[in-house]
Amino acid sequence: MQKRRLGRTDLFVSQICLGTMTWGQQNTEAEGHAQMDYAFERGVNFLDTAELYPIPPKAETQGRTETYIGNWMKARGNRDRVILASKVVGRTANEWFRGGRPSKLVRADILDAIDKSLARLQTDCIDLYQIHFPDRPIEWGANPSRVGNARAERVADETPIAETLGVFDELVKAGKIRHLGLSNESSWGVMRFIAEAERGVGPRVASIQNAYNLVNRTFEVNLTEVCDREEVSLLAYSPLAQGYLTGKYDHGARPEGARSTLFNRGQRYEKPYAAEALLAYNELARSFGMEPALFANAFVSHRWFVTSNIIGATSLPQLEMALDSTEVTWTEEMQTAVDDIHQRVGNPCP
């Protein structure tokens, strides 16, 4: 499996990153360990997790995913072979992260988050520590295809980016993290972080983790140029659009055990006209003789500006298919067919 440089760092991450957000909710610890064993046998060296996980977020499960990963690395004795990414939550009213109060991207909260994550992961240092979502109010994902008629209200106590970046500088100097990453961020946000770093405030952004898939290509507008010129790596999440690009929800189906059936959290992919777009891509995949999940992952894995495709699976066969996407020969014919549909349907699920 290809290894690609992460931003301007000395880290080279696998073309596929193993996402972990189902471990502790949909998947047991043993299943999570089996996924990591298999992925690393196939050449993956990159794990992505978060203090928030598993999904859906709940007080009683929060942090469980990191605990599973920490136990696996200790049992395998392989911490030195794992590029480990985790995340601190942005501004949230959920009080269970900080022991009974809301959380912001301020010093006390970031220090609390990193120390708890390090303990659960049973490690001294996280290779890539990411801001899960901004402190400022944003449209979720930070890249809407349109905005409303009223400007979003700004909170009076918004944490300045320079203040947050200064805390990350402390973490790097303390040896608790190696590099900084962003997530669910906009082109303005990326450039503000870079500008502050260039003024000497803190570490330079190495990566951005944003949604990118066939029904949400908004990253291509502005952010592709920003990240290419500034050497910020895209870690693309949700390549299967929360499973809607597997075909299992086509024609309104709700299979037993599927995420949207269990948790009713698929609203991002249930917007007006989304079903028609999803079906068009799933049928296109079949016309090329491919499973929709393989096709959708291959699209993401082979885009020139994607450093690593963060895949998620709840079973080993799903994981195998996701890893197989790197071996697909992505042709000009496939890209043209995808672009033809995109010209018609745009980005229905930003």
Residue 346 has pLDDT above 90, yes or no: yes
Q: What angle do CA 39, 42, 48 make, to 5 degrees?
A: 35
Who's near 36: CB < 8 A, 6+ residues apart? Answer: 18, 47, 69, 72
Quick one: what percent of the chain has pLDDT higher than 70?
Answer: 100
Residue 282 has pLDDT above 90, yes or no: yes
Residue 255 has pLDDT above 90, yes or no: no
Residues 99-126 have a mean pLDDT of 97
pLDDT tens digit sequence for 316-336: 999 999 999 999 999 999 999
pLDDT tens digit sequence for 287-321: 999 999 999 999 999 999 999 999 999 999 999 99
Residue 145 has pLDDT above 90, yes or no: no
- Peptide bond connecting 57 to the previous residue in cis, omega within 30 degrees of 0: no
Residue 235 bridge partners (DSSP): 209, 308
Mean pLDDT for all residues in the chain: 96
pLDDT score at 198: 97
Residue with tokens 């993401």: 300
Residue 141 has pLDDT above 80, yes or no: no
Determine how many CB atoms are found less than 10 A away from the CB of residue 79.
16
pLDDT tens digit sequence for 5-62: 999 999 999 999 999 999 999 999 999 999 999 999 999 999 999 999 999 999 999 9
pLDDT score at 142: 78
Region at 124 (left for phi over 0; alpha for psi -120 to 50; beta for the rest):
alpha
Residue 347 has pLDDT above 90, yes or no: yes
pLDDT score at 258: 84
Cα–Cα distances (Å) from 20 to 27, 238, 298, 347, in that order, read: 9, 12, 20, 26
Which residues are known to be catalytic?
53
Whole-angstrom Cα distance, residue 117 to residue 287?
45
Sketch out the chain's domains with CATH numbers.
3-345 (3.20.20.100)
The amino acid present at 28, given as its one-letter code, is T
Residues 159-165 have a mean pLDDT of 97
Residue 79 has pLDDT above 90, yes or no: yes
Residue 190 has pLDDT above 80, yes or no: yes
What pTM, to 2 d.p., does this model score? 0.97
- pLDDT confidence bin for 260, thresholds 50/70/90: confident
